[in-house]
Amino acid sequence: MPQPRRAGKRNEPQDFGWVISFGCKTTGTLRRLKVDTDPSSDTSPIEVPCPCGETHRVTVSPYRRRRAADEPFDLEVKSLDELR
Ligand SMILES: [Zn+2]
């Protein structure tokens, strides 16, 4: 049986995903959406199901950035395609 070992992987910086910030007009707060995959390939607007109960239309482009390891977020998706 081959070992499922990935050489060198341990020393690479870890990937904590991306964060897209958006304003919730209903509650007047800034929310964070975590995305696992780099959202830059498609910057068309997304429909985010906000914790406030409403769905907000969010523009992607200017607000994406790397997520820090301990940075909190309000909701999470693997890909922005889930919100289109
Ligand atoms: Zn909201």
pLDDT in tens, 1-44: 666 665 555 666 789 999 999 999 999 999 999 999 999 888 89
Q: How confident is the model at residue 64 (pLDDT cuts 50, 70, 90)?
A: confident
Question: How far is the C-alpha of 17 from the C-alpha of 34, rounded, in Å?
Answer: 7
What's the gap in Å between 53 CA and the centre of ligand 1? 6
Q: How confident is the model at residue 74 (pLDDT cuts 50, 70, 90)?
A: very high
From the CB of residue 58, how many other CB atoms can be counted at a distance below 10 Å? 19
Question: How far is the C-alpha of 10 from the C-alpha of 14, rounded, in Å?
Answer: 9
61: nearest Cα among 39, 76, 34:
39
pTM for the model: 0.80
What's the gap in Å between 83 CA and the centre of ligand 1? 15
pLDDT in tens, 45-61: 999 999 999 999 998 86
- Per DSSP, 28 falls in state T
